[in-house]
């Protein structure tokens, strides 16, 4: 029985001798009369609280804990996790503690996070947030595989899009991935779009063609600012990923592999023409990328708004609130900060 409990029992008994009621004395001291009676029973010396904390009987002594840490830091084991330390000790006929105990003690000593000799990989920061308020400000590009009739042989589709208008501003199909070919495609796009130095940011992943010396030299010559995703993080380049999904999941996508390079280029040409000039893109309020790129979406959406307002004026009882939002999308975000809505980042192409 703890000394604190003995003291409480003594105080309550003294109060009773002085004429106080037992229940009132217990109430003043902060326990119930039922608890007091239980404490006074000779067979209830231990702490009966469900949430009481006691040191386990098999707890290691401080000397044993220090031995675990000492052994784990010996040169032979310093770069090994407990899952490998314990078996090695057992092979030598030594048992100090279980694997879980090793983990628990090393974790408490802040020695479990990284035990290898090599330095841990540095933190990969998210690409800086970018905002496009008009066409020809931010491009996104990537390369995807196109299957051929020969198993294991692929063609490579290079695709560059404007994230503000969603227009495909340039594409090409080649038989290989090449930094040189990517540079040639970007040169052609800048000439056709009349891109000025430092006007466009080109975002891509960390693939070889994207970060190749020839491609980077070409971008520097053109005055195009490169931007890159984190390694193996596809969400950092969502617009190109979404566009490739649209390309490969439309009903018209060929069921059979492409017969040759000409067949692939012919089909992609048709897709790009449809996508830019006919596809009503949900992320830009259902106008085509070409209309958005040329600024025609403002007039088109204003006319739609007028049609809806007129319909509401004729039958106002059929409208419970405002008409459908036909306002143009003013800003498009690439890898926005958390304070910006995630839904602004990308929508299905």
CA 327, CA 301: separation in Å to the nearest integer? 6
169's enclosing H/E stretch is strand 168-174
What is the predicted pLDDT for the residue at 348? 46
The whole-number average pLDDT for the span 295-320 is: 92
CA atoms within 13 A on the CB side of 6: 4
201's enclosing H/E stretch is strand 201-204
Q: Which residue ranges make up each domain of the chain?
A: 3-40, 62-108, 130-273
Question: Which residues partner with 158 through β-bridges?
Answer: 143, 172
The whole-number average pLDDT for the span 220-236 is: 83
CA 19, CA 21: separation in Å to the nearest integer? 7
55 pLDDT tier (thresholds 50, 70, 90): low
The whole-number average pLDDT for the span 330-349 is: 66
Angle value at C-alpha 290, between 189 and 135, nearest 5 degrees = 60
Cα radius of gyration (the chain): 36
The phi, psi pair for 210, rounded to 5°, reads -75, -35
Angle value at C-alpha 101, between 95 and 107, nearest 5 degrees = 130
Neighbour count for residue 101 (Cβ, 10 Å): 17
pLDDT one-digit tens code per residue, 156-201:
999 999 999 999 999 999 999 999 999 999 999 999 999 999 999 9
The whole-number average pLDDT for the span 124-141 is: 87
128: Cβ contacts below 8 Å, ≥ 6 apart: 227, 335
185-191 long-range contacts (CB < 8 A, ≥24 apart) are: 185/158, 185/160, 186/160, 186/215, 186/218, 186/219, 186/222, 186/224, 187/218, 187/222, 189/139, 189/160, 190/222, 190/224
Which CATH class, in words, describes the domain spanning 130-273?
A: alpha beta
What is the predicted pLDDT for the residue at 340? 46
78 pLDDT tier (thresholds 50, 70, 90): confident
DSSP 119: P
122 pLDDT tier (thresholds 50, 70, 90): low
DSSP 203-262: EE-S-HHHH-HHHHHHHHHHTPEEEEPPTT-GGGSHHHHHHHHHHHHSTTS-SS-BSSHH
322: Cβ contacts below 8 Å, ≥ 6 apart: none
* Mean pLDDT (the chain, rounded): 86
338 pLDDT tier (thresholds 50, 70, 90): low
Nearest CA among 293, 131, 138 for reference residue 225: 138
Among the residue ranges 87-96, 307-316, 326-335, the one predicted with the least confidence is 87-96
């Amino acid at each position: 029985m703890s000394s604190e409990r003995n003291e409480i029992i003594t105080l309550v008994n003294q109060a009773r001798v002085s004429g106080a009621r037992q229940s009132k004395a217990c109430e003043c001291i902060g326990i119930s009369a039922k608890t007091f009676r239980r404490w006074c029973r000779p067979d209830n010396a231990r702490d009966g609280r469900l949430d009481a904390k006691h040191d386990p009987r098999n707890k290691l002594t401080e000397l044993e804990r220090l031995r675990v840490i000492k052994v784990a830091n010996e040169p032979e084991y310093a770069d090994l996790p407990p899952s490998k330390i314990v078996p090695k000790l057992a092979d030598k006929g030594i048992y100090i503690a279980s694997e879980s105990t090793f983990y628990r003690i090393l974790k408490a000593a802040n020695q479990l996070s990284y035990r290898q000799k090599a330095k841990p990989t540095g933190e990969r920061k998210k690409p800086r947030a970018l905002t496009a308020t008009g066409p020809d400000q931010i491009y996104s590009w990537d390369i995807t595989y196109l299957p051929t009739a020969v198993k294991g042989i692929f063609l490579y589709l290079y695709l560059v899009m404007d994230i503000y208008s969603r227009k495909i501003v340039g594409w090409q199909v080649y038989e290989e991935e090449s930094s040189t070919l990517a540079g040639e495609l970007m040169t052609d796009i800048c000439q056709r779009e009349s891109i000025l130095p430092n006007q466009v940011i080109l975002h891509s992943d960390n693939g070889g063609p994207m970060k190749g010396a020839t491609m980077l030299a070409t971008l520097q010559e053109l005055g195009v600012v490169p931007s890159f995703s984190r390694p193996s993080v596809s969400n950092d380049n969502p617009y190109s990923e979404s566009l490739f999904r649209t390309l490969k999941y439309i009903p018209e996508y060929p069921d059979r592999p492409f017969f040759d390079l000409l067949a692939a280029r012919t089909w992609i040409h048709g897709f790009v023409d449809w996508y830019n000039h006919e596809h009503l893109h949900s992320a830009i309020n259902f106008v085509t990328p070409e209309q958005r790129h040329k600024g025609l979406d403002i007039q088109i959406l204003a006319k739609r708004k007028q049609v809806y307002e007129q319909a509401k004026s004729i039958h106002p009882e059929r409208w419970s609130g405002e008409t459908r939002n036909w306002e143009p999308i003013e800003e498009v975000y690439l890898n926005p900060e958390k304070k910006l809505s995630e839904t602004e980042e990308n929508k299905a192409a």
